[in-house]
Amino acid sequence: MLRESSNRSDALDSLNLQGTVNPDADSGVPHGSLLTAFAEAAVRQTDALPGLREQIVSELGVQELVDAAGVVANFQRMVRIADGCGIPLDEFTRDATDDCREELGLHEYASAANTA
């Protein structure tokens, strides 16, 4: 979804998918490092979270903060549905992401076993 949305975005010259797995990598998405740091702090419930909230409000805006929190909350749910039900990748996703899953090291995840 990230790659597809980036292909259709005027605001993005080039996407670096490493930004999804490596917090030091620049994804190429505007304010991407701030947003992924916020996501990580929210998922790990670290002390950095309040400061990152303030930074998002300051650099992006308060509605942006609320919308970012919603996305974090949504995917904290979706990953547990996927993991809790042992679902494999859909065929169309498997074919479309074959090239990047290896590069990102996703096959190391235990849940990769759910996809033959």
Partner 1 sequence: MAFEYLGVDLPIREKTISSHRMSWEVIASPGRWWTGAERVEIARIGRAARDFDAVGSDILLEAAVFAIQKLVVDNANLNPEWYQEIIASEGMTEDRYVELVAVVVHALSIDEFHRALGLELESLPQPVGGNPTCERPAEAEQRSSWPPIVPKSGLNHGDEMLYGPMEWGANVISALSLIPENVRWLHDLSEGHYLSFAEMRMPDPLRAISRPQIELIAARVSALNECFY
State in angstroms the smallest separation of the CB of 58 from partner 1: 14
Contact status: 55 vs partner 1 (CB under 8 A) = no
Which class for 68: exposed (0-12), middle (13-18), buried (19 or more C-beta within 10 A)? Answer: buried
CB neighbour list of residue 27: distance below 8 Å, 6 or more residues apart? 15, 16, 17, 18, 19, 20, 33, 36
Contact status: 14 vs partner 1 (CB under 8 A) = no
Contact status: 46 vs partner 1 (CB under 8 A) = no
Q: Pick one of 25, 48, 55, 60: the residue that binds partner 1 (CB under 8 A).
A: 60
Q: Pick one of 51, 58, 61, 98: the residue that binds partner 1 (CB under 8 A).
A: 61
Contact status: 73 vs partner 1 (CB under 8 A) = yes
Contact status: 64 vs partner 1 (CB under 8 A) = yes
Encoded tokens for 115: 């996809």
Q: Pick one of 46, 51, 71, 98: the residue that binds partner 1 (CB under 8 A).
A: 71
**CA separation for the pair 78, 33 (Å, rounded):** 22
Q: How far is residue 48 CA from its own chain's centroid? A: 18
